[in-house]
Every structure is written in C-alpha cells, then in structure tokens.
Chains A and B, each alone.
Chain A
Amino acid sequence: MTRTRQRTGGRRRPLTIAIGLAVVSVIAAGCGSSGGSSSGGGGATSNAATQNGGGAVAGQTVPTANLPVLQKVGTGEGQLNLIAWEGYLDPKWVKPFQQQTGCQVNAKYAGSSDEMVALMKNGGGGQYDMVSSSGDADLRILYAGDAHPVNIKLIPSWKDFYPAFQSPPFNTINGVHYGVSLQWGPNVLMYNTKNFPTAPTSWSVIYDSKYKGQVTVPDNPIQIADAALYLKTTKPSLGITDPYELTQPQFQAAVSLLAQQRPLIKKYWGLASQEIFDFKNGNVVVGAGWPYQVSTLKADKFTIGSVVPSEGATGWADTWMLAAKAPHPNCAYKWMQYISTPQVQALQAVTYGETPDNKLACPYMDKLQAGSCAEYHANAPASYLDSISLWKTPLATCDNGKPDCVPYAQWVSAWTTQVK
C-alpha cells in the first residue's frame, strides 16, 4: 500500500475524510435519537413501563413517616419545580394556576418511572418539589425516604375523589399520605370493527392463531401480568389471585403463553403513535392499548373499537408526590389543591386521554368534549374499577409475607430472553 501513498502523499486519506464525515453525522444522529427518546419517553408512550401499586412492604418502614406536615397553606414562594410525564404540565391548566397563585411552574419531564425515581433521590435534592409518578415509582420513592407526608385536609377536592383513589396503597402507607392521586386508565382490548363486527368479549383473540401476524401488544415486561390476568380466569388450576404476585410455576405459565403468542405478533409497540400508525395502515387488526390511542383513532374517524374483556384488564394510576426536601411547600400545596378540582381534572383527562379521580369531573368533561365522560368511564360504577388490576411492581415478597413471588428484575429478563 505504501507504494501509492508516496506518490499521492498530499491527498487526504480515506479514514481522515471518513472520520470528519462521521463526526458530522454522529452529531446529527445524536440529535435525532435524543429527539426519539424524548418523544419515546413522554406522555403518550409506555410511560407506565414499571408502574406499581401495592401496599406496605413487609418488614419495611417509610423513613419520613414522622416528619411534621404543613398545618396551613401560607403565601406561595413564587416558584414550583415539578417532575412530570410529558403532557402533564400543559399550558392549558398551568397558565391559569400561575396567574391565580403567582407560583411559576418549572417543568422537568421524565421519560420513565425509573428516571423519576432517580430524579427524586435524596428527597428531590432540595431542588424538586413534586413528581407525577406512577404506582411502582411511588413505593420506591417513599420507601427510599424521598417523599414527604402530606396533610390531606388542606386539599378540599380530595373528599370528592372516588374512594379507591383517596388512600390507595400506592401512595398512602399506614394512613399517612405522601401525595394526592391524579388520574388513572385501563389497558383495553382494541380491535378494528371491520374485522370484528361484534365486539370480542375475551382477551383470547390476541392469543388466537386465527389472527396470526395481525396482533400488537405493548413492548413492556409488565405485559406478563396481562397474560397472568387471562390465565387467572382461563386456567383456574394455576391458582393465580393477583397478576403481579406470581409464584414460579404461575410466572412460567404466563411467560410460556406469551412465548406461544409471539408468532402471532406483528409488532410489540413502544410508542402510542406506533400503535395508532399500525391500526390505521392495517398492519394490525387487534391488540392491547390505551384509551388515548382509541380516542385518537376515533377522532380520525377510524373503525376502532375497544373493550374491557370479561377477564378484566390491567391499568395504571398516577400520583402527585411531595418531595422530602421540597423547597416550595406552599406552592406545592396550592398545586395539589388546584390539580384536584373537578374542572382541572376534567381538562387533563380530556387533553391527555385518561380517567379523572374526582367524581365531580364528569359534567366538565362532557362540556369540553361531548361524550368524553362515558368514553373514559369517568362515571362508571365501582364494579368497573374492580375489573381493573392497577399496575404495581412485582416484588419477591408476596402480600402474604412469603418470599415465593417472582421479582420484577426477573420479569424484565424473561421478557427479553424467553418471550421476545
């Protein structure tokens, strides 16, 4: 090779040029991918990746349980630093809050439950006031001592919440509140009404080889709970009681059901937009998704139907949690008061596509968008909520205190190594 080099020594070498080119494009790709992950993480995505509920964990105590709570909401500090899912701090309801209270809201958007846990480390670091976390993050945050007890009496609209969300086990431990519940939603069975003139009544359609290559489910280890929920009814001999508390044989049964389902799957969706795209273009005809996708497709006049099948469904529930070292507690309480009111609950529910926790929100939802109250089941009876198993992180210790359950880390590895 050196022969030619001598003759053409003045020219630039291939690698030099290629490196220059690579630098340019890596920067370009970096921008692209960061755009991807931010859109991938927020709002309408698998934000519920590791959501969790659950009650007190055997043998664990909340380190901050005895901290004194605020007795009276004083003057606002002028600032409020919030960690939130993308879409949870829409100017539509943040702007009026700022005008009413003088608390300037500074948003930090998190892409996953784990990012929220990380940001809340060390009580929010004395920097963040609150986080709009989901089930599992809640428990992890408060058992790490990063959440502050909340005086729920200072939040007037709380008494109008559905009882299930007043003191749920994922944000209230031994009667101590660490935040105020926000919104929730189910994971529904979605189907193209052209292919299903009559609505399916069972999750069995997504395990049916008749729909090979036309099924889509979330790319999320918590999907194992959906399989377990289905097996709870269809294979009672397994003795599944809670889809998030599975013994090794129950867990294996769910995992092998999903492994059998794999050839039927067209796409494990990661982004809500991806599922919408696939239904619209006919790549899939049936699958699991959120009310958000259903309402978006309906708004586009697409032939979509959705149902909570007879076996029930899984779902998520979010909470505004107070940080242990919140620097602006008065503004934080003002925020909790504001976000719990029926008007704001309705506005967020309709904008984001979820169900409000405040039972008075229904008429306001219909005023914003006719029929939205029924669409998001904001007026549904308690039996509807009973059919939803709200997400919680699977722990090694079952609720009965026995260490027989399969922990979440194993769910993740089974999802990658046995299902996909």
Chain B
Amino acid sequence: MGFRVDHASQVKPVRPAGGTPTRRARVSAALWRRPWARATILLTPPLAWFVLLYLAALVVLLITAFWQINPFTTNIERTWSLTNLTTIFTTSAYLQIIGRTVAMAAAVTVADALVAFPFAYYMARIASPRTRTTLFVAILLPLWASYLAKVYSWLLIFTKGGVLDSVLNVHLIYTNWAVFVVFCYLWLPFMIIPVYAALERIPASLIEASQDLGGQTWRTTRSVLLPLALPGIVAGSIFTFSLSLGDYITPLLVGGTSATFIGNVIYSNIGIANNVPFAAAMALVPMAIMALYLLGARALGAFEEV
C-alpha cells in the first residue's frame, strides 16, 4: 500500500522567529523528508500486533495439525505426519459432518438473503427517515444482547409447552431445523446491513430508466436491482456463511442427536479429548472452505474498490 504525499497541502516545518528550529520542528522536518520512516513508525505497532498475535497463532495452528498426541499423557508429540487429515478425509462420519456443516451454512445464507433483500429494499427506498431509523435500531438492538441469552430464549420457544408447541403444535426442539432457525435469526443483521448499503446507493434514475423502458416490477428487480445489489448480498453472505460454519454453541444447545458440526468436533477434541492436533486439522477444513468462498466472492465483485 503506497504512502501518497500531497505536496500542495504540505506545511513547511515551523521555524521560530529566532531562526533556529525547535526540536519538535526538526523531528517533524526529518520525518517529512523521509516518508518511509513516517510509514514505519505509523505501521509498526499495528503490523506487529497483526503478525505476532494473529498470523503467528494461525501458523501455530497450521503446524499443530501435522502433529499427534500421546494417547496416555495427551502430550503433543512433534512428529510430522498427515494422519489427522487422512483420518478426516477417509472417515465417512467426518465427511458427513463437513457436508452437513456446509449445507447448513449455505441454507442459512440463502434464507437470510431471501429475508434480507425485501427488508433492506423497504428500508433503503420506501421507508421514511424516521421509520428507517426505527428499523435500524430494531436490527441492531439484538446485537447488544448476549449471544447465550438469545439462544436460550429460542430454547424456551422450541421446548415442549413453549410458544411453538402450545400455539402452533410444532415440535422443533433438538432438531437441525431448530439450529437452522436460530442461525438465521442470529446472523440476519449481518445480511441486512450490507444489502441495505448496496441498495441505498443505486441511483433512482436507473430504476426510473428501467420503468421508462417498459420494465415491470419483476424485470426491474431482476435486471437492475439484483445485479447492482449483488456485491452487498455476497458481502453479507461471507458473514452468514462463515459464522454458521464455525459456531458450535447453538448446535450444542438447541440441536438434537445429529447436530454435530465441524465446530462441535473441534470443541470436543480440545475440551474432552485434549487432542489439539486433531482439532487443528479439523479447523483447517472451514479455513479452506472460506478461502474458496472468498475467492468466489471476489469474482462476484464483493471486494471491488476496497
């Protein structure tokens, strides 16, 4: 990333009346003459943080995935092998878990997009500023509540004798449908906001032009609105998809006997079996899936001009 210097706006180092520059002015002048020094000072702390705490942790994870544990002491044995990854990709149960996780994440993403689009459209183009503000607050307010409180409140809705059971006679508790509903609820704001941002910036003239050319509602939506809102939808989907891919608490609390997802395998291998290498290998799976997803998202224009 370049460090552009706008010469027109540069202020010359201040010299006091006496003619000898102050120390502060000298430092400032020295930095002005050496843009690289300025960039170094500015970027070292955040880069150090990023490299040491973030990238280093990921690298350690990557390395650990190729180690094993001693089954008795559960100490990590630093011998290199692909055993963990081979186990994951040759055990049908793990493949099934990966498939289930990806399917769940995809279903949640599609459902959230379907709900978010009309909602965001209303907010961006129809609602009065006052209503819009109210809706914004309504969307963002749940984000301030504790994640656990939200999941537990859904448990109360799903349970026998709860609202769904007593009013609609629907029994969702401890099923993957319950997991699906809670995921959709939890991640919806992350879809609405970017779609709203994308829809809001579509100039009204484009929609008018489509209508002037005889485009009906559906045609205008399909040919004008959707293509222009697509980067927003893709941006939102990155969040709904990745958050669903990694979550293990919701399946643990509202899921049933087949609610084992990638996150649950990682959790049980760290928390119960203390098999950190296997957990690390399993953690590489969602990372790989997300890398592919982000490449696809880039192709769809989600990162343009970022």
Contact = CB atoms under 8 A, between A and B. Distances in A.
Interface of A: 1-2, 4-5, 7-9, 11-18, 21-22, 24-25, 28-29, 31-33, 35-37, 41, 46, 49-50, 57, 111-112, 114, 117-118, 140, 143-144, 220-221, 262-263, 265-268, 270, 274, 277, 281-283, 395-396, 407-409, 412, 416-418, 420
A14 B73 CA distance: 49
Nearest to A20: B193
A8 to B, nearest CB: 4
A276 to B, nearest CB: 12
B268 interface: yes
A17 B124 CA distance: 15
A138 to B, nearest CB: 13
Contacts of B271: 37, 41, 49, 111-112, 114
Given A114-B271, A416-B265, A15 B189 contact: no
A116 to B, nearest CB: 10
B200 A18 contact: no
B275 A412 contact: yes
A76 B275 CA distance: 39
Contact of A32 (B148, B227, B305): B148
A49 B146 CA distance: 27
A75 to B, nearest CB: 36
A412 B268 contact: yes
Interface of B: 69, 71-75, 91, 93-94, 143-144, 146-149, 155, 159-162, 173-174, 189-190, 193-195, 197-198, 200-203, 206, 227-228, 230-232, 235-236, 238-239, 243, 249, 252-253, 256-258, 260, 265, 268-269, 271-275, 301-306
Contact of B232 (A14, A143, A144, A262): A14
Contact of A17 (B74, B197, B274, B303): B197
Nearest to B97: A416
Contacts of A18: 190, 193-194, 197, 235-236, 238-239
Given A5-B305, A267-B256, A409-B273, A13 B147 contact: no
B74 A4 contact: no
B257 A1 contact: no
22 contacts: A1-B227, A1-B304, A7-B203, A8-B203, A13-B231, A15-B302, A18-B239, A21-B143, A25-B189, A33-B147, A36-B147, A49-B272, A50-B274, A112-B272, A143-B72, A262-B257, A265-B257, A282-B161, A283-B160, A283-B173, A396-B72, A417-B91
A283 B198 contact: no
Contacts of A417: 91, 93-94
B73 A140 contact: yes
A283 B272 contact: no
Contacts of A37: 271
Nearest to A4: B228
A150 to B, nearest CB: 22
Contacts of B144: 28
Given A8-B201, A13-B306, A412-B275, A21 B193 contact: yes
A11 B239 contact: no
A11 B198 CA distance: 10
Given A14-B235, A41-B271, A114 B74 contact: yes
A416 B74 CA distance: 18
